[in-house]
């Protein structure tokens, strides 16, 4: 899966989809897609990433407590 790094606008290939979908993990492993050379994997903070369209990542991927208020009702 490819996402966009918000600060730089560069494309990031996500190498650890489990970390992306797990709201308890604040970081994931990925690599920039720039140039013809394969870049080295590095850690990215999930809040610094967005979909290529500019849309934010779903809250359920970022916040483990996103439903707490709903469940208290």
Of the candidates 37, 44, 43, 41, the one whose C-alpha atom is nearest the C-alpha of residue 7 is 44
pLDDT above 90: residue 35 = no
Tokens of 62: 């970022």
pLDDT band at 70 (very low <50, low <70, confident <90, very high): confident
- For residue 7, the surrounding DSSP H or E stretch is none
Q: Which two tokens stand for residue 44?
A: 């990215």
% of residues, the chain, pLDDT over 90? 81
User: Across residues 38-51, what is the average pLDDT?
Assistant: 96
30-41: average pLDDT: 91
pTM, 2 dp: 0.86
| Contact indicator for 34, 50 with CB cutoff of 8 Å | no
């Amino acid at each position: 899966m490819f996402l966009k790094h918000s600060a730089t606008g560069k494309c990031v290939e996500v190498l650890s989809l489990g970390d992306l979908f797990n709201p308890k993990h604040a970081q994931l492993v990925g690599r920039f897609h720039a140039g013809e050379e394969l870049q080295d994997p590095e850690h990215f903070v999930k809040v610094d990433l967005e979909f290529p369209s500019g849309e934010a990542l779903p809250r359920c991927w970022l916040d483990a407590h996103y439903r707490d208020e709903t469940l208290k009702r």
